[in-house]
Structure 1
């Protein structure tokens, strides 16, 4: 029963971050921040210069992480944040990792 309750609170979002976000350490900072928050998923560069992030966690965790993604880090300049909620059922992620460029 407890496991089912945890799944009900779990949400998944796919986020596309556009701007000056490649070559500035944005992905590594994203990995560190997501792990601090307990968010799982992955991050990768896209060939078009954007960064794609798959996030999984509670609504509160994802709100904080999306806010961070929009602010970025000091070396990044985020122009646009496109957030798409992924409806269940979805795969469960065990950790947060950096994937190769797609």
Structure 2
């Protein structure tokens, strides 16, 4: 199992990014969360099989159709597993 925290920057708020990310993460069998940041970025914590974590990181560079991602940064690796074994959308931080 692997875990990572991501910071996604660009035009990623108001375009359905969190919802699309959540759906993709759940489809990949990942647990964790995604939320908007007050600075306009999106932050996510993902945990699951290493191949699935890598797949969501790759997907994060594109996002949904309306998104314009300028940068995806892995700001933390070896994230601890979340308490819930599902994926959730959290409030803006």
Identify whether the pair has TM-score above 0.5, normalized to the shorter chain: yes
Shift of 1:71: 1.2
Number of positions where the alignment pairs a residue of Structure 1 with one of Structure 2: 92
List alignment gaps of at least 5 residues for structure 1: 1-9
TM-score (norm 2): 0.92
Q: Whose helix fraction is larger, Structure 1's or Structure 2's?
A: 1
- Contact 2:7–2:43 (CA<8 Å) still a contact in 1? yes
1:19 and 2:30 equivalent?
no
Aligned residue number for residue 64 of structure 1:
55
Residue 58 (structure 1) shift: 1.1
* TM-score of the aligned structures, taking structure 1 as reference length: 0.84
Unaligned 5+ segments in structure 2 are none
User: Does residue 45 of the first structure (1) align with residue 18 of the second (2)?
Assistant: no
The alpha-carbon deviation at position 87 of structure 1 amounts to 3.1
1:86 Cα deviation after fit? 3.0
Question: Contact conserved, 2:3 with 2:81, CA < 8 A, in 1?
Answer: no
RMSD: 1.3
Q: State which structure, 1 or 2, has the greater radius of gyration over its C-alpha atoms.
A: 1
Deviations 1:23-45 (A, max 9, x none): 00000001111111101100000
DSSP 3-state at the match of 2:92: coil
Residue number in structure 1 paired with 2:19: 28
